[in-house]
Structure 1
């Protein structure tokens, strides 16, 4: 070993023993390994220097302040290593040292805005490393992945939690917006771009499994420490195929690489679940892991467990087909015959028990086995099932024939006697049955000769009919629980149903067939009609129902209908922009059902008047479910709608009925200054394309102009075209009386539209 290397190793060992010596050893070795070193410095010394710097700045045993101060002094050395040295070991260690130094220099530049020299050195090192990330050898690219991980960590905003603030967490939150050397937007964009480069590696070529596994290992830290990009990373991993090499020729090398990538992916996702058990993506993670396991097993079954092609026999006869073809193998003489059944022990003289009848071996050692020693029936099943599966069918057939022969011989000797128990008296007639077993053909012929009454005695008395016990009636609580369970399962099936293209020949409208294609639309139709039509008429006050049982069932049906409506509302609000068609279909079903029920009530009232039953005239209108749930849906949407969400126009334009209460929600939305233009746009659209509600639109627009000062310019623009009298009255000072008259007329028009706003929509 070179003397200088021996001295350097001694200094390195001293620093490893006590981290406090790093602050004195690093300045001492820099003239030997740094830019001040002579050009004749051997490659071994430079390799030692790069390894020492990577080990030094990755060590947690010395103070971060000293580490940040000395990091500025080694930037030129690292730049020299990366620009001039061609040794792969030096480059790898230099990149690892740069990965540890980058956060330190980053925090220093945040606090010192005028230190452009060191920041330019760091940017030059970063550019050199990023250039080598795509073209360098595999080992160097893995080190580049580590550096890119640190850059993404530093240049990505973190979640600020005052209760658990980490002073050592260096992120984009430390950079002020007006920093002269570090533009906030540029750093953020670069961090997102480098993250995309990392994710692009796992979706690219998998011929370098070490690089892919290195990227997967780096993503775990990003998911844990940067929740802002966690969903983006998990989405990319869900679209990642760790078994891409299964499509390539399945060599031993490809098998090892595929297994390595699969296990690394599984370890990444399992650790995500362990760190955050309440993560909403855990369900997708479990599904992805199960799918990956099944695909991996299928790939291995196809490659490792595939049976080779059968070898053709040389003699022209397959040994497994010799019995079927009745052919003799070569070399076998005509005297060769199949082996017969094994000899069966004869029955003892005297009465025979069932155990002796079914015992075929002479020793009878298995008959003495006591099965009562198995206390657990499951344990006995685990033993019996493999034993039964391993029984030879030929031997089983011989044993059955032997037992049949014994039974026939005993029946012939004593026709009126059955096999006696083992404790039969000794004074009964002894008999000597024929213990010679018969073959299968003889046994079948003998059984055919017997009458049906000899084989299966018919009892003298007929059997009584068997009737299953009646199921006890469900209680109201059980009906409610099972109903809610059915509704929840229906929504679970709706969540996983795939979108299917509607048939061109399918009929639309309210009379269309539900569940014709078993897709999402079919389930929406079923659920909406279950909510609207299943309980129609059960809550009418004129039914005169007195039976308590019927009333309880009516209440249960209504409760289930409300449960379905609540489920539909929550399902729509989870992604209301994409599921707006579901909301419109549901509201149309509600409006149609309310209209039909109102017409039925009107016809029933008319019939009662004609028949003279004035006492049974309906005095209460049916409950308007459409009005109730349309307002609830709008109240939920108005809170979260943004001024750019013009899709709200579609909802209001396709709702079957509009009234003053619904349009008042638009006026409520205009209280937000950012959404005034959207509210006026909605009212303008309704005025232009829904003429029946023009009067309501003008009333709401007038109220908006009078009550909201910020909305006056936008509202006055359309009032000047549609109802200039309001502006003229305001200018003449008579807006108060006119407003009161207008409101009275508005209320009159609203009541004229009916409970459901049917006339306004028609």
Structure 2
């Protein structure tokens, strides 16, 4: 016993030294292992201390992971012996926690050392022993096993690789394992991780009698959702189907209440943290609905006020007389209170409860000195019985309420009577007597002087006066304002469409089939290209609202084109699809106008129509303007430009020459070469133009020569041969000159 106590004292001294400075861990661990090992017949207290020390050591952040990785290999036999030959729950729990911390270190070591079979077999044996304990071990050990399973799933699923050149600084995951690794097969590791994740989710959806185990499983899922997006959807879908209040169907014992509250709070914290990290995630709406539903269920389960009998309603002016003997309370003596007089009531009448009392005739205005009045009122108020004061206040309150209701009923009756009088009013037409008729006939003119009666005629229809014609300035002002409002609405639709998923109709869509951003962009681009075609050309002789304007003063098409360009360039990376849709409409309209011009030319040759001037297309001009605007802001990593150049309907030399101009910037040479290479491979009509642009870059841009040479050597090697011959000839001439 004394030797065991002395050994524990020495071990504690070593532990305190390592806690003070983490650099001592690599030197302390080899000296401690012979003492705490199970093969040394150490006492139970020593083995418990050793297991706790190993769990604490490898979880400590005070020493680097490289040193931890080296030392972790030396403790694997000790951990295996603890797990296979130990029955003490404390030793097993600490050993499982230490194994959970060591597993990623050994995993990374085996990745870099694929032939270390012995250590990987030790780790595999430890893992198998821990996984067998998950369903049969005591609750404390099972919680530690959940932590170990979390670490296994974390390292055996693919994660994000920040820098492939520095694997030691990346997150330890399946993405670091080579495909040809002899010990770690991708298929086996993925299958094992998927099965262990299902076991964690089964704990959540299984028996809720052990709330600590369910809470531990929920807490372990939070890190998996955060660090492994690969499996986040599966975890969140399972958690959203989890009911933490399932025990409400069983008897509501205090233990069940505590367990349900614990699981509900843990689930809510997990989902709230998910929303905080990714507010725009695809599960945000479902999570909010789930939290609201769980909140209502929690109120229904734990709100005991809904289950209790409502309190009896007592009268406001005192206790019920029938309960006086049972309750034992004294009812204040109440005097009969006279009702209020009919008609208008003053404040004095409202607050006077005893009109015959002496206080009713008391006039406070007789006191000129306020101090004297205070000296009288304060003792009077202190001497008043609290019950009587409350009774008087209730009487005044009831008076006031009755008076308010009476006044409201009176006002409603008066308004109703006025309305009835207005509806029932009819003028009285009494028949005239004989004397009145004779008097009128006497005063009437002779028969020949009677005026002719005008025959009744129908009223003419009323028409509003025609509005004056708009001036040129007003037309331009109102047109620009309409276009600005439409594009302002587009900006608001951008925000709403980014939050929810939208479906697109493809080529068969209608421009106004829905009120989303794509529909409005289609309408605007067609207004700019087709709706106003010919309105700006005075030679077309088309009668319209703009026919009286001078050419170039106002153009509906050009206003929309200018607004479309500004709208795209405001955020061109996110609105590149709008630019592609607009150029497609421009190209299609140019083809239509060209076909119409050809048909008119044929009719003119046959003498059936007049020869009209050829229509100038707008696609080339709009495409060059967009390309110039995008190139001005594009960086070397903006591959959105590659998508734009590959999806616009037509390419020519003028457009591709912009890639040559962009290659003058050394940081964007690779992007320009990438665009030309992609167009050569997937846009066959532009092959020759791409090669010509590459030749120009080869001859004029020295910095782009290495990149252009790689492509020209495959597509047009004769250019390089010609240049080499010219260089050799020039060198020979220089030698002769020397």
- TM-score band w.r.t. shorter chain: 0.5 to 0.7
CA contact (8 A) 1:23 1:70 kept: yes
2-structure distance, mates of 1:592, 1:306:
70
**Structure 1 counterpart of 2:486:** 483
Match of 1:528 among 492, 498, 522: 522
CA contact (8 A) 1:483 1:560 kept: no
Higher radius of gyration, 1 or 2: 2
Question: How has the CA–CA distance of structure 1 residues 495 and 65 changed in structure 2, closer, same or farther, with 3 Å as cutoff?
Answer: closer
Structure of greater relative contact order (alpha carbons < 8 Å, 6+ residues apart): 1
After superposition, the C-alpha distances for 1:438-486 in whole angstroms (9 at most, x for unaligned) are: xx98x789768977999xxxxxxxxxxxxxxxxxx97898666533321
CA contact (8 A) 1:113 1:181 kept: yes
**Structure 2 counterpart of 1:17:** 16
Match of 2:619 among 620, 624, 632: 624
2-structure distance, mates of 1:402, 1:192:
81
**Structure 2 counterpart of 1:55:** 56
CA contact (8 A) 2:73 2:119 kept: yes
SS, match of residue 36 in structure 1: helix
SS, match of residue 350 in structure 2: coil
Question: How has the CA–CA distance of structure 1 residues 538 and 491 changed in structure 2, closer, same or farther, with 3 Å as cutoff?
Answer: farther
Match of 2:291 among 293, 313, 323: 293
Residues 158-177 of structure 1: matches in 2 within 5 Å? 159-160=161-162, 171=172
Question: How has the CA–CA distance of structure 1 residues 71 and 238 changed in structure 2, closer, same or farther, with 3 Å as cutoff?
Answer: closer
Q: How far is 1:662 from its partner?
A: 12
Match of 1:34 among 34, 37, 45: 37
Q: How far is 1:15 from its partner?
A: 4.2
CA contact (8 A) 2:8 2:46 kept: no
Q: How far is 1:116 from its partner?
A: 4.5
Provide structure 2 residue ranges, at least 5 long, that are not aligned to the other structure: 314-336, 354-396, 426-473, 539-546, 631-637, 661-670, 696-710, 718-738
Residues 229-378 of structure 1: matches in 2 within 5 Å? 229=228, 231-242=229-240, 244-245=242-243, 248=246, 250-251=248-249, 253=256, 255-256=260-261, 258-266=263-271, 268-269=273-274, 272=277, 282=280, 284=282, 287=285, 289-301=287-299, 303=301, 343-344=339-340, 361-362=350-351
Q: How far is 1:96 from its partner?
A: 0.8
1-structure distance, mates of 2:17, 2:597:
92
2-structure distance, mates of 1:594, 1:71:
72
Provide structure 1 residue ranges, at least 5 long, that are not aligned to the other structure: 274-280, 312-318, 320-340, 349-355, 365-391, 408-439, 455-472, 503-507, 575-581, 642-647, 684-695, 714-762
1-structure distance, mates of 2:241, 2:398:
43
Question: How has the CA–CA distance of structure 1 residues 560 and 200 changed in structure 2, closer, same or farther, with 3 Å as cutoff?
Answer: farther
SS, match of residue 56 in structure 1: helix
1-structure distance, mates of 2:8, 2:65:
24
Residues 63-78 of structure 1: matches in 2 within 5 Å? 70-78=71-79
CA contact (8 A) 2:26 2:67 kept: yes
Q: How far is 1:570 from its partner?
A: 6.0
SS, match of residue 290 in structure 2: helix
2-structure distance, mates of 1:555, 1:260:
60
2-structure distance, mates of 1:526, 1:115:
64
SS, match of residue 250 in structure 1: helix
Question: How has the CA–CA distance of structure 1 residues 92 and 490 changed in structure 2, closer, same or farther, with 3 Å as cutoff?
Answer: same
2-structure distance, mates of 1:711, 1:305:
79
Question: How has the CA–CA distance of structure 1 residues 192 and 161 changed in structure 2, closer, same or farther, with 3 Å as cutoff?
Answer: farther
Residues 552-563 of structure 1: matches in 2 within 5 Å? 555-562=558-565
CA contact (8 A) 1:82 1:91 kept: yes
SS, match of residue 621 in structure 1: coil
CA contact (8 A) 1:151 1:191 kept: no
1-structure distance, mates of 2:171, 2:116:
18
After superposition, the C-alpha distances for 1:254-301 in whole angstroms (9 at most, x for unaligned) are: 73254134233135326636xxxxxxx645575455333323234335
2-structure distance, mates of 1:66, 1:247:
46
1-structure distance, mates of 2:219, 2:277:
12
After superposition, the C-alpha distances for 1:325-376 in whole angstroms (9 at most, x for unaligned) are: xxxxxxxxxxxxxxxx99446778xxxxxxx879983379xxxxxxxxxxxx
SS, match of residue 512 in structure 2: coil
State whether structure 2 residue 205 is matched by structure 1 residue 205. yes
**Structure 2 counterpart of 1:727:** none
Question: How has the CA–CA distance of structure 1 residues 538 and 9 changed in structure 2, closer, same or farther, with 3 Å as cutoff?
Answer: farther
2-structure distance, mates of 1:288, 1:72:
45
Question: How has the CA–CA distance of structure 1 residues 218 and 30 changed in structure 2, closer, same or farther, with 3 Å as cutoff?
Answer: same
1-structure distance, mates of 2:572, 2:276:
35
**Structure 1 counterpart of 2:714:** 710
1-structure distance, mates of 2:17, 2:264:
41
2-structure distance, mates of 1:659, 1:500:
30
Question: How has the CA–CA distance of structure 1 residues 537 and 196 changed in structure 2, closer, same or farther, with 3 Å as cutoff?
Answer: farther
Question: How has the CA–CA distance of structure 1 residues 594 and 299 changed in structure 2, closer, same or farther, with 3 Å as cutoff?
Answer: farther
CA contact (8 A) 1:542 1:618 kept: no
Question: How has the CA–CA distance of structure 1 residues 178 and 70 changed in structure 2, closer, same or farther, with 3 Å as cutoff?
Answer: same
**Structure 2 counterpart of 1:126:** 127
CA contact (8 A) 1:132 1:141 kept: yes
1-structure distance, mates of 2:205, 2:94:
26
CA contact (8 A) 2:583 2:619 kept: no
Question: How has the CA–CA distance of structure 1 residues 565 and 301 changed in structure 2, closer, same or farther, with 3 Å as cutoff?
Answer: same
Question: How has the CA–CA distance of structure 1 residues 671 and 563 changed in structure 2, closer, same or farther, with 3 Å as cutoff?
Answer: closer
SS, match of residue 245 in structure 1: coil
- Of stretches 523-532 and 191-200 in structure 1, the one that deviates more from structure 2 is 191-200
Question: How has the CA–CA distance of structure 1 residues 393 and 622 changed in structure 2, closer, same or farther, with 3 Å as cutoff?
Answer: farther
Residues 455-474 of structure 1: matches in 2 within 5 Å? none
SS, match of residue 125 in structure 1: helix
1-structure distance, mates of 2:66, 2:581:
64
